Amino acid sequence: MRSHLWIALTAVAAVGLAPVAGHAAGPTQFKENPRTCQNTGSFEPWLATFKKEARADGISARAISSALDGITLDPGVISRDRKQGFFAQGFLSFQKRLATNGRVVAGRKKIAANKEAFERAGKQFGVPAEVITGFWALESDFGAGMGKLPVLRSLATLAYDCRRGEMFREELKAALKLIDRGDVEASGLIGSWAGELGQTQFLPTRYVDFAIDYDGDKHPNLFSSDADIIGSTANYMHHLGWKAGQPWIEEVRITGDLPWQEADLAVRHPRAQWAKWGVQRRDGGALDADQMPASLLLPMGRNGPAFLAYDNFRIYLEWNQSLTYATTAAYLATRIAGAPEMGHGRAAVVELSGEETKELQQRLAKRGFDVGNIDGLAGAKTRSAVKQMQLKYKLPADSFPSMELLAILRGES
């Protein structure tokens, strides 16, 4: 969800990226309250109750005491969690800052240095090395930006907080389990403000369930063992349903107009159909006219860069539900695998600002659409509402929040 950058981007590292709902908790979904929710009751009584709950769940008194005795609330973590403005950037801006040539080169070097572990993971789990290194680069710059905050304090704060307390209570318990089974010491749990751990930024539940020992020392170590990081990341992606030997995303060219309402991750067509509609490979070559299903992904609308997203792209959205993050991570993996730098589409794209996106969401909500949180982040619900309004006004229905649509809605007020 997503989280966790980065030494190369000092300003971003100071902000961090927290997991969106479901980012690391697998299929379990927890209630998420609005960012405006207010906490009631003080932290200390809550912590005392939580300790009893953890003990009742079988966690040892030693682990609870070593982790939580004397811990205090961190108001800064709550403040960061309520803001989360980093994903408000458009895809072009986001990927330009994160899917850098430096990360492409570093990813290739990491693959060469860990050839045996990557080959083993590829055979066992079917996940390509460039896919693993794409996440590894974005999440921590291969360990350079894992975070410097005491994770247990962050987790306790988020578990107490009203917004996602249920989810983070489970994460805090999982961190205690890691201590209990001897994988980590309480003092060694240093990471992001959102409680994520290690070089691919696993939340503790993911660490408990999917981290594996790949270097033979009997303890999964996602902080400093490249082999364990590779095996564990592949294991988790295999669990999410990664299909071995299949693509994940492919940049394409659009040669003319097409039925734009079909450009939607919820809509899939065989590649042969996309070819009939004038979609070509990035280099102008013909698509394989086969029956492999794919969605046309237009993260910046019909004039921006275009991708065919295959079944494996859905694993990226399981990892982090931000479409901007998922598309950037998938694109970076293709670059590490040898794809050329991304084109910028057919024409200049004008992005709405965060405040303009909020206004658009408000106007759509007043018309009865469920746009999710009115937060300036154009997520799946907002894009769905945009598409419906584009169809209503006979605009190209590419689901992209545009100034054109906002102007129409303003004129109706």
| Token duo for residue 25 | 């908790």
Q: Are residues 222 and 319 in the same domain?
A: no
pLDDT band at 85 (very low <50, low <70, confident <90, very high): low
Whether residue 373 has pLDDT greater than 90:
no
Q: Are residues 129 and 175 in the same domain?
A: yes
**198-217 pLDDT, tens digit each:** 999 999 999 999 999 999 99
Q: Are residues 208 and 116 in the same domain?
A: yes
Write down which residue in 282, 309, 336 finishes a domain: 336
**Looking at residues 48-65, what average pLDDT do you find?**
98
Residue range(s) defining the domain that contains residue 305: 249-336
Q: Are residues 174 and 144 in the same domain?
A: yes
pLDDT reported for residue 84? 59
Q: Give me the helices (H) in 187-263, please.
A: 204-210, 226-240
> Do 348 and 358 contact (CB within 8 A), yes or no?
no
**211-255 pLDDT, tens digit each:** 999 999 999 999 999 999 999 999 999 999 999 999 999 999 999
**Looking at residues 164-186, what average pLDDT do you find?**
96
Q: How many residues does the chain have?
A: 413
The C-alpha atoms of residue 83 and residue 75 are separated, in whole angstroms, by 13
Burial of 397 (0-12, 13-18, 19+ CB in 10 A): buried
Residue 398 lies in a domain: yes
The C-alpha atoms of residue 401 and residue 259 are separated, in whole angstroms, by 18
Q: Kindly report which listed range (44-48, 262-266, 379-383, 384-388) carries the lowest average pLDDT score.
A: 379-383
Q: Kindly report which listed range (276-290, 297-311, 339-353) carries the lowest average pLDDT score.
A: 339-353
Burial of 34 (0-12, 13-18, 19+ CB in 10 A): exposed
pLDDT reported for residue 9? 33
% of the chain exceeding 70 in pLDDT: 92
Long-range contacts formed by 279-288: CB under 8 A, 24+ apart: 279/252, 279/253, 279/254, 279/255, 279/306, 279/308, 280/252, 280/253, 280/254, 280/255, 281/250, 281/252, 281/253, 282/250, 282/251, 282/252, 282/253, 282/339, 282/340, 282/343, 284/253, 287/252
pLDDT reported for residue 61? 97
Q: Are residues 34 and 155 in the same domain?
A: yes
Q: Residue 384 sits in a domain of what CATH number? A: 1.10.101
pLDDT band at 7 (very low <50, low <70, confident <90, very high): very low
Q: Are residues 194 and 318 in the same domain?
A: no
- Compute how many other C-beta atoms are within 10 angstroms of the C-beta atom of residue 182: 10
Q: Are residues 152 and 288 in the same domain?
A: no
pLDDT reported for residue 327? 96
Whether residue 359 has pLDDT greater than 90:
yes
| Token duo for residue 341 | 């730098």
Q: pTM score, two decimals?
A: 0.90
Residue 343 lies in a domain: no
Whether residue 180 has pLDDT greater than 70:
yes
The C-alpha atoms of residue 275 and residue 244 are separated, in whole angstroms, by 24
246's CB contacts (< 8 A; 6+ apart) are 310, 311, 312
pLDDT reported for residue 169? 97
Q: Kindly report which listed range (13-27, 32-46, 159-173, 185-199) carries the lowest average pLDDT score.
A: 13-27
pLDDT reported for residue 86? 52
Write down which residue in 216, 240, 264 finishes a domain: 240
Whether residue 6 has pLDDT greater than 50:
no
Whether residue 15 has pLDDT greater than 70:
no
pLDDT band at 29 (very low <50, low <70, confident <90, very high): low
**Looking at residues 146-150, what average pLDDT do you find?**
94
E strand map for 93-185: 149-150
Q: Are residues 104 and 234 in the same domain?
A: yes
pLDDT reported for residue 305? 96
Whether residue 11 has pLDDT greater than 80:
no
% of the chain exceeding 90 in pLDDT: 81
Question: CA torsion sign, 19 to 237 to 247 to 262?
Answer: negative
Q: Are residues 29 and 152 in the same domain?
A: yes
Q: Give me the helices (H) in 181-309, please.
A: 204-210, 226-240, 271-276
Counting the structural domains of the chain, the total is: 3
Question: CA torsion sign, 384 to 4 to 242 to 275?
Answer: positive
CA distance to 15, 261, 310, per residue, from 3 (Å): 9, 31, 24
E strand map for 130-205: 149-150, 190-191
Write down which residue in 310, 336, 362 finishes a domain: 336
pLDDT reported for residue 82? 83
Q: Give me the helices (H) in 241-297, please.
A: 271-276
Distance from CA of residue 82 to its chain's centroid?
Answer: 17
Supply the mean pLDDT for the chain. Answer: 90
Higher model confidence: residue 268 or residue 21? 268
pLDDT reported for residue 88? 58
The C-alpha atoms of residue 347 and residue 156 are separated, in whole angstroms, by 48
| Token duo for residue 95 | 């990927």
- For the chain, the first-to-last Cα distance in angstroms comes to 35
